Each structure stands twice: as C-alpha cells, then as structure tokens.
Amino acid sequence: MGEFDLIARYFKRPSRRAALGVGDDCALLQPTPGTQLAISSDMLVEGRHFLSTVDPRKLGHKALAVNLSDLAACGARPLAFTLALALPRVDESWLAGFSEGLLALADAHDCELIGGDTTQGPLNICITVFGEVPLAHGHSQALLRSGAQAGDDLYVSGALGDARIALEVFRGTLSVPTPVFEMARLRMEQPTPRVGLGLALRGIATAAIDISDGLLGDLGHILAQSGVGATVQADAAAALVASSVTYDSVAGLHGDRISTEQWRNWALAGGDDYELLFSAPASARSQVAQAAESSQTVVTRIGRIEQERGLRLVDAKGQTLPNGYSSFDHFA
C-alpha cells in the first residue's frame, strides 16, 4: 500500500466543518466571525512519550488527547486538527487501530481531521490542533497563563500522579496490585482532556495551564508569567494520587509501605497528568464548583496565589516542606 492509499483508507473522511479537507495542498478552514483561533502543536516520539508496546488504538487516542488538553487549558472549543505521521513501515493492523483510536476521540469532541502528511521514518506523531475562543467586546476570552492574581485560589482537576505510577511499574521500579495498575495504566495511555471544564471556566478562571511536565513545574509557568507566587498544600495534591483506591492497598516493589514523601512526589512532579491547573478569585468558589459540576469533572482546591514571589509547600498541618521537586525537561 502506497502513501496515498494509506491516507485514503485510514484517514480520509467526508469533510464537515472544513471548507476543504484532506487531499489538496492546503486544508481550508473558515473561522466563525467574532472568534480567535487557538492553535497548539505536540509531537510524540516512541520511547519518550509512549512505549513501543502500546496498543495503537490507545496511542491514537493519546496523541490527540494531549493536544486537546492544550485547547482545554485555553478554554478553546475544538474545531479541527492536522496529523503528520512518520512510520517505519506500512503496518495495516497498526494503522487501523491507530486511526480508530484517534478518530473516536476526534468524533467525541467534534474535531475534524483536515490534513497532514505521511512519510517513512522513525515513528513520530505530530498533531496540530485548532480551536476557537470567542471575543467579547473585542477582548479574547482565552484562559492564559498570565492572569493569576494574589489572593486567588489554586485548583487542579481530576487525579494526579497515576501516569507516573504506571510508568514506574513498566520500568520495574514499582509493583502495585493489579486493579491499581490497570487504573494507572488507563490514565497513562488514555488521558481525558478536560475540554468541557476549560470551556466552563471561561470568565471564571484567571489563569490556566495543563499539567504535562508535573504540577509544580507547570505551576512555575503560571507564576512566572503572572508575576506572582503561591503556597501549595502538598498533601491535598498527594490525596489525588491513585484516588480511586485506598493508600493502604498500594505497596511498593517489595510489598513495603509507600512513604508520604513518595505520594507527594508522584502528585507534585509525576508528569503526563493532562489535568487543568488553574486559579480563580476566592469570591468565585461557587462558580468554580458549578463549572466542575456542569462539566462532570472533579476539581480540588490545592493552594493559593500570593504576592510574594516563589513557591512554598506546606503539609496538612501547615508546616513548611522543602521543595526538592523538579519538573520534566526533555533535554535535562
């Protein structure tokens, strides 16, 4: 099967939103008047963003999910995406699974595949996603990283650290009961982009980011761009790790109890969470709760934005904790 057959068989569908979809030099997209286009691009590389053993269906899901997560963090409604794919060889069963997982998530968010590229090379998946954000009286309604204010509450959606637990199990450095592993693996391989929450937070959140490199590292971007500091309740975050199981049921590699320190580490620096971290005025707590409910997403308050620069960690008793966490850096 050649390049053009491959595209036609696995990726070409009648275009819906696009004026012109897959199959010309460019795709043509007509933005709704009075909106801005939100654009994000993520590249996934084997061995770094996914394991070679991953089910291609799940990989298709994840490749789009991490991009939709960026739209969610901007409060943008998904519109369309392009897919550039380097494949070592044409493997029809892989392509069938990959495109199925990819397009199922795309359909769930009404996000249309409008173009892209395929080539031969080491496995690499590059998606660029497009969403729209309304303008109100000429002002963008996008959630940015730069709007956090001293006094704001700090929230995180969903759960934390689970993807990291799954990774450690795959690496052989951790052993957990099967149900915990299955849950963690699902979170690592098929993260849920918080698109509905992002939309519901427009006009409420003052700043937002999606957590890909670890909570504290990504919080650092909000703090730097907003010119503020924060105090984070480490144990409120740690309580979100493996939140569907009891801590006592999770044991380490040799059956030993996992330390409080380890739980905190997974929560604060785990990476690959794809949850939204956002700030909102303390006066907007009921609106945040409403946004969480309307989008059916759990949201937890884990700290406070402060005037004083820097990041402070406290435990459940309010005692200061040392911050030795480092976020994920692809070149560190």
Site for its own copies in 212-251 (CB under 8 A): 225
Q: Both tokens of residue 32?
A: 């709704």
Cα separations in angstroms, 24 against 20, 27, 63, 176, 283: 8, 7, 24, 50, 51
Task: Work out which of 130, 155, 181, 266 binds its own copies, going by CB under 8 A.
Answer: 130
Residues 280, 219: contact at Cβ < 8 Å? no
Q: Which C-beta is closer to its own copies: that of 212 or that of 231? A: 212
Do the bridges between strand 299-306 and strand 229-233 make them parallel or antiparallel, or are there none, so unpaired?
antiparallel
Residue 146 near its own copies by CB under 8 A: yes
Q: Min. distance of Cβ 171 from its own copies in angstroms?
A: 17
Residues 301-330 touching its own copies, rule: CB under 8 A, are 329-330
Q: Which C-beta is closer to its own copies: that of 89 or that of 317? A: 89
The neighbour count for residue 133, using CB atoms within 10 Å, is 21
Residue 140 near its own copies by CB under 8 A: yes
Give dist(CA 62, CA 287) in Å, integer: 30
Q: Min. distance of Cβ 297 from its own copies in angstroms?
A: 17
Residues 150-189 touching its own copies, rule: CB under 8 A, are none
Task: Work out which of 92, 107, 110, 117 binds its own copies, going by CB under 8 A.
Answer: 117
Q: Both tokens of residue 35?
A: 């909106």
Give dist(CA 149, CA 145) in Å, integer: 11
Please identify, among the stretches 207-215, 249-257, 263-271, 315-323, the one whose residues bind its own copies according to the rule CB under 8 A.
207-215
Question: What's the N-to-C CA distance of the chain in angstroms?
Answer: 40
Residue 115 near its own copies by CB under 8 A: yes
Residues 188, 159: contact at Cβ < 8 Å? no
Residue 105 near its own copies by CB under 8 A: no
Give dist(CA 270, CA 11) in Å, integer: 33
**CA neighbours closer than 13 Å in the CB half-sphere of residue 82:** 19
Q: Min. distance of Cβ 101 from its own copies in angstroms?
A: 20
| Pick from 46, 266, 47, 255: nearest CA to 164 | 266
Residues 109, 27: contact at Cβ < 8 Å? no
Task: Work out which of 114, 180, 201, 223 binds its own copies, going by CB under 8 A.
Answer: 114
Residue 264 near its own copies by CB under 8 A: no
Q: Both tokens of residue 242?
A: 């493996």
Do the bridges between strand 153-157 and strand 320-321 make them parallel or antiparallel, or are there none, so unpaired?
unpaired
Task: Work out which of 2, 14, 255, 322 binds its own copies, going by CB under 8 A.
Answer: 2
Task: Work out which of 152, 153, 168, 210 binds its own copies, going by CB under 8 A.
Answer: 210
Residues 33-72 touching its own copies, rule: CB under 8 A, are 33, 36-43, 45-49, 70-71
Q: Min. distance of Cβ 239 from its own copies in angstroms?
A: 26
Q: Min. distance of Cβ 8 from its own copies in angstroms?
A: 11
Q: Which C-beta is closer to its own copies: that of 39 or that of 282? A: 39
Residues 175, 169: contact at Cβ < 8 Å? yes
Amino acid at 97: G
Residue 86 near its own copies by CB under 8 A: yes
Task: Work out which of 11, 15, 27, 291 binds its own copies, going by CB under 8 A.
Answer: 27
Residue 196 near its own copies by CB under 8 A: no
Phi, psi of 101 (to 5 degrees): -65, -40
Q: Min. distance of Cβ 207 from its own copies in angstroms?
A: 10
Number of residues near its own copies (by CB under 8 A):
71
| Pick from 168, 198, 194: nearest CA to 180 | 168
